[in-house]
Amino acid sequence: MSGGPSQVDTFDPKPDLARLAGQDVPESLARNVPKIKRAGLKNLMASHWGFSQRGQCGMPISELLPHTSMHADDLCLIRSMTHRNPVHGPGECVALTGTGAGDRPSLGAWALYGLGSETRDLPAFITINLHSDGMQFPQAAGWGPGFLPSRYQGTVVNPYTGIRDTQMPKGVTDELRRDQLDLIEWFNQRHLKGLGKHSELSARMRSYETAFRMQTTAPELFGMKGESNSVRKLYGMDHSGTTEVGQACLLARRMVERGVRFVQVRVGGWDAHGNIKGNHTKLAHRTDKPIAGLLSDLKQRGMLDSTLVVWGGEFGRTPTMEGRANGRDHSPAGYCAWLAGGGVKGGQIIGETDPIGYVVTQRPVKPMELHATILHSLGIDSDQLEYDHHGLIERPTGVEGGRPVTEAFA
């Protein structure tokens, strides 16, 4: 959820905001706010939405998310996500790679490095970008390989047109294309002998073969043949406002069925500096039913236990109004993420923020600890997964390390 969904308007209700609306952040709480946000401690703003307890677990969820709230008993909600980078591009790098510089492998690359691929016909790591927010270049690190070999990078696809350039050119037969690729392979192998070990060229050579196989596999995947009207409706594909995210979520399920190891769906637009009511109403409507449809579909097919679904943004938003714009500013000091499936124990809440939702007060979870948790769900011990990078033994959680949130699991 690129842009930063507001935790106090979605999954972390704060009744005190209504009582303190219009006032400054109380000094008892302000002294705990990181210095980078000390200038924005005025004019607390109540949420525009009510919360109700959902599921047998009684998890409080905003009325913004009526469909997702029906899955409360499947959700492991982490209310204590925290880091220190308040800028979108670097913030997404923190969320998806662990550092703001964007120079480390993305989580998907680590997962592919640790587990390998289950399919020869499709990329093992696919990212679908639905960016209405003018995506910045730094975000690309979120599906990049970093210092891992290039073959572990994600493949960016469009949910409607699919993988670029997989359509066979007019008049080109499979046999002719095979001959072309064999010739290209011969030239590349000769060039590689002269270069020696070369990660990018080796990855390029493998990509030609993968692309050839995708020319028969991808049209079936993206064609959505065999999907009933009831399934399409489940994902919200019968309404224009939810069609795009619904298409992406349904594709994610189809990809996992076909052996794609790691699927990342990026929905931009949550950056509500002004008119948070209008922004979050639109974005919640755009995403709520498709995401709930994915959870329902995976469960109906018996796939949820073996598929981990993770929801979150690069940070949250302040409990104060930004200026007089009726919006909220960026706030990485305390925000929410949730996990479902993949061995996770649903119906529970981990961590806590202060009475107005500004900073974490119990069980802080840093992005790299969330990464370790996700890898743990996939059967990977992040302390044991190693890569020799110019003599430095690198691990998914970096030099500082990070342990999985083990209480998230049943």
Tens digit of pLDDT per residue, the chain (410 long)? 999 999 999 999 999 999 999 999 999 999 888 876 556 799 999 999 999 999 999 999 999 999 999 999 999 999 999 999 999 999 999 999 999 998 999 999 999 999 999 988 888 999 999 865 555 667 889 999 999 998 899 988 888 877 666 677 888 887 888 888 889 889 988 888 888 877 777 777 777 777 777 776 777 888 888 899 999 999 999 999 999 999 999 999 999 999 999 999 999 999 999 999 999 999 999 999 999 999 999 999 999 999 999 999 999 999 999 988 899 999 999 999 999 999 999 999 999 999 999 999 999 999 999 999 999 999 999 999 999 999 999 999 997 778 999 999 98
| Helices and strands, number each (H, E), in the chain | 10, 15
Domain assignment present for residue 359? The answer is yes
Bridge partner residues of 392 (DSSP): 389
Domain span at 367: 7-162+242-408
> Can you tell me the distance from the alpha carbon of 150 to that of 390, in angstroms, rounded to the nearest whole number?
16
**Considering its fold, how many domains does the chain have in total?**
1
Q: What is the three-class DSSP state of 144?
A: coil
* H/E run at residue 375: helix 367-377
100 domain-assigned = yes
Residue 111 to residues 127, 152, 160, 221, 385, Cα–Cα distance (Å) = 14, 9, 26, 23, 10
Does some domain include residue 121?
yes
- Of 244, 253, 245, 262, the closest CA to residue 226 belongs to 253
Structure tokens at 227: 């999907």
Question: Which secondary structure element, helix H or strand E, spans residue 75, and what is its range?
Answer: strand 75-81
Instruction: Quote the pLDDT of residue 136.
Output: 60
Please give the model's pTM, rounded to 2 decimal places: 0.91
Identify the pLDDT of residue 7. Answer: 98
Calculate the alpha carbon distances from 248 to 160, 265, 289, 293 in Å: 9, 7, 12, 11
Q: Which of 368, 339, 334 shows the shortest CA–CA distance to 352? A: 334
Can you give the pLDDT at residue 199? Answer: 75
The pairing of beta strand 125-130 with beta strand 262-267:
parallel
Domain CATH for 137: 3.40.720
Residue 56 lies in a domain: yes
Residue 263 lies in a domain: yes
**Is residue 381 assigned to a domain?**
yes
Would 103 be classed as within a structural domain? Answer: yes
* Measured distance CA(373)–CA(78) in Å, rounded: 12
CA distance 46 to 19: 8
pLDDT of residue 158: 85
C-beta separation of 357 from 319 below 8 A: yes
- Evaluate whether 99 touches 253 at the Cβ level (below 8 Å): no
Could you tell me if residue 109 is inside a domain? yes
